[in-house]
Structure 1
């Protein structure tokens, strides 16, 4: 469908322009996700080495690895959504006629936007709670709200990515 004219005309062109503007930001977030993944590997490696060489593992490894893993996921999610590179099962949709595939893509985009907005609404009170009480992690005493702020940011960017893909005439990962 890339290159095919969309039935939305100007809306598709606007969505494609937003996609071009959004892509560098999302790539930057994905680079940060990669750095978080590398930090996980380094942290676990150092902790294991300290456990076996000095009998003194880093006491905060599990906690920090959990935060870094969550950060990596939510930092990478918007780019994966924009590019529709997530895991998907397309056996049914791939066998639909092109018009129905387009409708399935729009429906998938709509469901994605609704889910992201719903999850966004659910995570905001938790972020506000952590911020207002200055909550810290149990072992390393790291402030939690900076980590938690990644969720609403990621969800809003993912919702935008779902909308852009649907309106730009992309397949949203539906079909081949």
Structure 2
């Protein structure tokens, strides 16, 4: 039997409260690794499921958001790598409103967001995860911890990503 199945109501409530408090992480990862609304919903659900399964091993001495990001990104990467899902990701991103759940959209900002999402979709899984953490303003130390790489490697990769963004995203927004 799964260890999480034997947990009491207090444990479920504590997990639920933390998940609710940090739910933005789930949505950011789902948006970065899935294209369609249906895929994003499926991925968000899978992330929540995997977080629950991993909950018995969570060490409260560590930051919950770091632990959560690590699991969410691993699930996102697995999702992206699966053959059946990969075919779904080939669909071009046309609707920024579908990704960013907001009412009135500034068309210039929407265009820039569309270009950024297309760029992110071209990245290999590690760089996609790194960019997501960077855009979420995580510290170099936390990014290194989540991704399991050194802080100097994070710094180098971020520098390269920033240059790639300047080279690829900036010209596309000026067209």
Determine if the TM-score, normalized by the shorter chain, exceeds 0.5: no
TM-score, with length taken from structure 2? 0.28
TM-score, with length taken from structure 1? 0.28
Tell me: higher relative CO, structure 1 or 2? Use CA pairs within 8 A at least 6 residues apart: 1
- Larger radius of gyration between Structure 1 and Structure 2: 1
